[in-house]
Structure 1
Amino acid sequence: MRYRAFLSYSHNDAAWARWLLRKLEGYRVPARLVGTPGRDGPIPARLGAMFRDRDELPSAGDLTGTIREALAESASLVVICSPAAARSQWVDAEVRAFIEQGRADRVLCFIVDGDPTVDECFPPATIDHGRIPLAADARPQGDGRERAFLKTIAGLLGVGYDALVQRETQRRNRRMGIIAAASLAGMALTSTLAVSAYVARNDAQRRQVQAEDLLGFMLGDLREKLTKVGRLDLMHSVDDKATTYFATLQPRDLNDTALEAQARSLTGIGQVRLGEGNHAAAMRAFQEAYARSAALQARKPSDGKRLFDRAQAEYWIGYVAWQQDRLDDAEKWLTRYRDSALKLAAMDRTNFDWQKEVAYGHHNLAVLDESRGRHAEAERAMRKELALFREWVRTRPTDMGTRGEMGTVLSWLGSNASRQGKLSEAEAFFNEHLANLDTLRRADPKDANLRMDWVDAQLLLGDVRAHRGKLAEARSAIEAANTQADALVAQDPKNHKWASAQGIARFWRAQLDVGTPERAAPEAAAATAVLERAHAEEPKDARMREWRGRAAVLQAQVALAMHDAAAARRYAADAHATMDATWKQAKDDNLRVPLARLALVDGELAQDAGNTAAADTAWHDARTLLLADTPEQDIPFARLDPLVRTLHHLGDADAESEYRRRLVAASYSPLQPLPPLPAIAAR
């Protein structure tokens, strides 16, 4: 879990929330409890990160995606209870969302006001069939704030309250003994120069602690406040100063607590810089975080938590290198992350989260290999990940989260096989992915995200079936996707993501009929209408821009097939207006094939108008697009169909025949007939 606890409270109780958050984040577990068994495994020295929401409930009353994600990633939910909390729709919604995840036993109530005997301080979701919950009562007439705080700590750690109180008493006694001894020693040394040096050193350490506490506040609470008002720019100089300051410190000279705090701060700075697109600054922060986490791990190599933290830093450095197109460096660091994950998993075979790090390690390297065109290596790594997930799903049949992650791997392998022209393998992976989604949907039929994933999976399956010549089965999948997409849009017409899925489903319905343009034309128009609306609502959404452009290209192809040159030109102009600027700015590879098909249309329109020079220019542009950025022998399979048509127009019979043979070897079935074999091939 990313967070030890999620604090849910009414904004009338914000002062209590701040007090409790500071206490929880500053609490040190008694040394004699550290490492002993707790509810969630060995008890750590610190509780870890907490999540305290500061947003207001939207007018629609739904939790935001950020809040739902934080709830899902929190081990427990601490509810600050009061009459204001009992009336808060926001608090009740958070409690219900947490309980719906099957973790009602992880809800801890912390009373700050009201009378619990008449349930005027508990949110409705915490009350089970009229029975008010047990709670830590911070009121003076209850437990008092300190005893209530310790009860909450006991609940978070999964230990007995009495045991915790006993350990706290022992720790307090030891502390008093240490203080007394230190006082005597100080009195004895006041007349020596050693005292001066000792005091000076303590002053320096105190100033360092104070400075880092201030930095911690600025990098934490203050950053959140500035983010909320849209002034994160004010934090830039603070982040830079913090990074520079930490870089001047030698990790070997710092104690464990300082190293841990600095590593967390630097990781946070790196993630912010990465979100801003400042990869160089993000890399500096992650490298400093790595230096500290590596130093901590070297001090205690048997500590799995420290190895885990070091592995996360290795991942972030590799990820940023990847974003900077330094693929060799990315591979080096992501390989380190994978190897650290293997060591971590071997430390504790019962820690499922650590086992899953191995799968993520294989996944990163697979995606990196694919981006470098190393499809065979990518497939081997992803199959290793799939083998892990299949075994976990077999042994943990009720773990729907793990089953969902396995579905992502299946879908990726299907797409990878399709890109290599292994259409039969792709169909098998997509079928298994759909069967897996059906299991997930039976477990949670109301999950709209699963319904959306199911639409995407049907479209992928329909596409590969169509290109295997299984048109009837392809139509079945595409129609199933359309039916489900229509149901989603009917449920919430304002959901732009669902509207885009409906438009893409309409596009594929038209695409299947592209060989019969009279049938394809109205479906293509319907797809364009839906995608236009979705694009208008989200003009900066690159995916919507891509599909809006694809629909316009399809309309131009259909109009050209119907010998309506005027309409084809209008649609082609629309496609250029949608995609050209994006391509010039970013060279988004998802636009490469649609732009090549658009150039084919441009050439055919110019040829029909008798302008052979313009036609040749357009077709040469199409060839350049399709052959760019990859060796000729490794041309991605998705480019082969338009490439064969382009080379046919250009009269390059030898090259056309070579690429056509690859399509035939894959048993590829085009939706529009390919041009006749060139004469040279016939001879």
Structure 2
Amino acid sequence: MTRGGIQSGNGAAQRFAAFISYSHADAAIAAKLQRKLEQYRLPRHVAALHPEQSADIGRIFRDREDLAAAPSLTDAIRDALAAAEALIVICSPDARSSHWVSQEIELFRKLHPDRPVLAALVRGEPGEAFPPVLTEGGLEPLAADLRPEADGWSLGFLKIVAGIAGVPLDTLIQRDAQRRVRRVMWITAGALTAMLAMGIMTTLAISARNEAARQRAEAEGLVEYLITDLGSKLDGVGRLDVMDDVNARALRYYDDQTSGSLTADSLNRRARILHAVGEIDIKRGDFAAASRRLNMANAITSDLVKADPDNAEHRFANAQSVYWLGRIAVHQDSFDAARKYWNNYLNEARALARLQPNTARSFEEMGYAHGNLCELEFDQSSDAAKAEPDCVKSLALMEKAARSDPRNPKTILALANRQGWMADIFEVQGKLPKAVAQRHAEAATVEQLIARDPLNIEYIERANLPAIGLISLYLEQGDIRAAEAVLTPAITRIDAAIKRADDNPGLRIERLRLAYYHGEIDRKQGRNWRRRAAQSAELARQVEAQFGSGLRQRTTAFDAIKRQDGN
């Protein structure tokens, strides 16, 4: 090794574009930042202004091995700092308290007083996240706030690139925007090509009666692809304007045809597409657009039912239309309108049951209909007694559906959901033994699915719901031993699943909920529960560091653990 750089295999001194200093708790973010920086290429016209450097950012140094046992910074770390053109400090409460991070900042400034020190804030406010040595003497580091509520990852990352490369930030932002637009345009080009292929297939279909039916089915299937698979891709790059254009083009396929040319099956398919588009609108929070789509679908399915009231498929489609209109009403707190729609859904489910008696689908639709009314009453009034009759009917119907189609996972999961709702009803009413019995029934139902597919992560995550419910009920009854008997195997199962799928945020959330109850049981048993609470809080911080503080699946487990740790 040389003091000016790290000796490479061919004898040349290895230099680094930047050295990343971070605490162990922020290792995942540091690794991600290193990977992204080493993959990034400067825009061609920007790189041309700096002929002394290539378009690549260059090598980034990141190392944390063997520091825990070392009395001071290792020679490798010292040499890497000497060879670094810039220092990036991952700032968080953990970094602020890290002895090693402070030492690395001090040594880098001593070796390179004129080179940039870049602060990347990932957790906490600056006052609780910046190491004191970073701002001592009034020094203000170049800061990039990677927190979702601030710069976010994209803009914060570009600030770091600009600081390392010494180029204008505005230029990089413009280049990044152009790259995103090009990506979306490629996707859009694929959509338009698919639309053209759809038109060609439809034209060819006219040449023969039998061929027409097949070609129409293929064309309409392609329309569904545009709304579903392609739609999710456009959603992923944040181009809702392009998504709206694709939706409009797909629906125009039907609008350009006279209503008389569309068969009942084609109209039914168009209604399904409108359902899918309306569901996407609801997810975006655009309830006005969703209402327009779903009212169009309802008009189609209502006409189909009027024209052929004994057609089970038309009844089923109309049931979906009124269900989604009811769901919009719930989102808008229009509970009277929701009740009207969902009573209509119940009527359609009854009609389907008359047309297809004693079938799994009929039982399911009736079960869903009564379940909707149960949830509506419970959520609106919190009156368990009023909600209970529909909940009881829904559960009985889902039990029939499961007996009729015992190999259908969707049906089994629907049954488990109804059992969970009944447990909630009983618990609110203070009927704790009945609530416990329902939680056991729910757990047994999910275990059926796990027995068929033991490695299915979705089933294992779902199995934690009745486990948590039972633990809570047992603690409420003062039966700590029973609560612990449920907790221990639940933790074992979740931990084993996390080893197989350590990137699954849902599993991590369920593990946090178990950690909270572990602390509660220790507290009630007189054990060292404060240590357990502190461990749970650290686990919560690790989950947030790995998956981000804006987890969609974030639950009250985070806040409960923080309260527990603070008591």
Q: What interval of TM-score do these two structures reach, taking the shorter chain for normalisation?
A: 0.5 to 0.7
TM-score between the two structures when normalised by the length of structure 1: 0.48
From the superposition, tell whether residues 274 and 249 of structure 1 become closer, same or farther in structure 2 (CA, over 3 Å).
farther
What SS is found at the alignment partner of 2:319?
Answer: helix
Any gaps of 5 or more consecutive residues in structure 1?
A: 1-14, 33-42, 53-212, 558-683
Larger deviation, residues 337-346 vs 390-399: 390-399
Residue 518 of structure 1: how far off its partner (Å)? 5.1
2:435 to 418, 426, 435: 426
Count of residues in correspondence between the two structures: 372
Residue 227 of structure 1: how far off its partner (Å)? 4.3
Asked if 2 retains the 8 angstrom alpha-carbon contact of 1:456 and 1:481, the reply is: no
Asked if 2 retains the 8 angstrom alpha-carbon contact of 1:475 and 1:512, the reply is: yes
From the superposition, tell whether residues 294 and 505 of structure 1 become closer, same or farther in structure 2 (CA, over 3 Å).
same
Map residues 615-630 of structure 1 onto 2, 5 A cutoff: none
What SS is found at the alignment partner of 2:342?
Answer: helix
2:350 to 339, 342, 364: 342
**Structure 1, residues 157-212: CA drift from partner, whole Å, max 9, x if none?**
xxxxxxxxxxxxxxxxxxxxxxxxxxxxxxxxxxxxxxxxxxxxxxxxxxxxxxxx
Map residues 75-114 of structure 1 onto 2, 5 A cutoff: none
1:312 to 316, 320, 338: 320
What SS is found at the alignment partner of 2:285?
Answer: coil
Residue 371 of structure 1: how far off its partner (Å)? 0.6
Residue 475 of structure 1: how far off its partner (Å)? 1.1
Question: Are 1:472 and 2:478 counterparts?
Answer: no
TM-score between the two structures when normalised by the length of structure 2: 0.57
Q: Counterpart of 1:281?
A: 289
From the superposition, tell whether residues 304 and 370 of structure 1 become closer, same or farther in structure 2 (CA, over 3 Å).
same
Q: Counterpart of 1:565?
A: none
**In 2, distance between residues paired with 1:513 and 1:275?**
41
What SS is found at the alignment partner of 1:302?
Answer: coil
Q: Counterpart of 1:381?
A: 390
- Identity across matched positions, percent: 23
Residue 482 of structure 1: how far off its partner (Å)? 1.6
Q: Compare relative contact order (CA 8 Å, sep 6+) and give the higher one, 1 or 2.
A: 2
Residue 321 of structure 1: how far off its partner (Å)? 0.6
Asked if 2 retains the 8 angstrom alpha-carbon contact of 1:266 and 1:289, the reply is: yes
**Structure 1, residues 347-398: CA drift from partner, whole Å, max 9, x if none?**
0226532432111111111111111123223222121121122233345444
Q: Counterpart of 2:452?
A: 443
What SS is found at the alignment partner of 1:476?
Answer: helix
Asked if 2 retains the 8 angstrom alpha-carbon contact of 1:531 and 1:548, the reply is: yes
Residue 310 of structure 1: how far off its partner (Å)? 1.4
From the superposition, tell whether residues 260 and 444 of structure 1 become closer, same or farther in structure 2 (CA, over 3 Å).
closer
Question: Are 1:272 and 2:272 counterparts?
Answer: no
What is the Cα-based RMSD across aligned positions, in Å?
A: 4.3
Residue 491 of structure 1: how far off its partner (Å)? 2.6
Asked if 2 retains the 8 angstrom alpha-carbon contact of 1:260 and 1:292, the reply is: yes
What SS is found at the alignment partner of 1:544?
Answer: coil
Q: Counterpart of 1:299?
A: 307
Asked if 2 retains the 8 angstrom alpha-carbon contact of 1:513 and 1:519, the reply is: yes
**Structure 1, residues 101-153: CA drift from partner, whole Å, max 9, x if none?**
xxxxxxxxxxxxxxxxxxxxxxxxxxxxxxxxxxxxxxxxxxxxxxxxxxxxx
2:512 to 483, 486, 503: 503
1:525 to 534, 540, 557: 534
**Structure 1, residues 257-307: CA drift from partner, whole Å, max 9, x if none?**
775465345334322321210112211221122112211221122222122
Asked if 2 retains the 8 angstrom alpha-carbon contact of 1:441 and 1:450, the reply is: yes
Structure 2 residue identity aligned to 1:327: F
Q: Counterpart of 1:554?
A: 564
Residue 429 of structure 1: how far off its partner (Å)? 0.4
Asked if 2 retains the 8 angstrom alpha-carbon contact of 1:535 and 1:544, the reply is: no
**In 1, distance between residues paired with 2:417 and 2:234?**
36
Question: Are 1:483 and 2:492 counterparts?
Answer: yes
Structure 2 residue identity aligned to 1:541: L
Residue 223 of structure 1: how far off its partner (Å)? 5.2
**In 1, distance between residues paired with 2:228 and 2:204?**
14
What SS is found at the alignment partner of 1:514?
Answer: helix
Residue 553 of structure 1: how far off its partner (Å)? 0.7
Q: Counterpart of 2:378?
A: 370
Structure 2 residue identity aligned to 1:510: G
Residue 233 of structure 1: how far off its partner (Å)? 1.6
Residue 242 of structure 1: how far off its partner (Å)? 9.5
**Structure 1, residues 473-531: CA drift from partner, whole Å, max 9, x if none?**
11111112122122222333333222222221111011123345652111111111112
Map residues 95-244 of structure 1 onto 2, 5 A cutoff: 226-227=234-235, 229-236=237-244
Question: Are 1:352 and 2:360 counterparts?
Answer: yes
Structure 2 residue identity aligned to 1:417: F
Residue 461 of structure 1: how far off its partner (Å)? 0.7
Residue 27 of structure 1: how far off its partner (Å)? 7.3
**In 1, distance between residues paired with 2:254 and 2:195?**
30
Asked if 1 retains the 8 angstrom alpha-carbon contact of 2:374 and 2:387, the reply is: yes
Larger deviation, residues 326-335 vs 475-484: 475-484
Question: Are 1:492 and 2:475 counterparts?
Answer: no
What SS is found at the alignment partner of 1:336?
Answer: helix
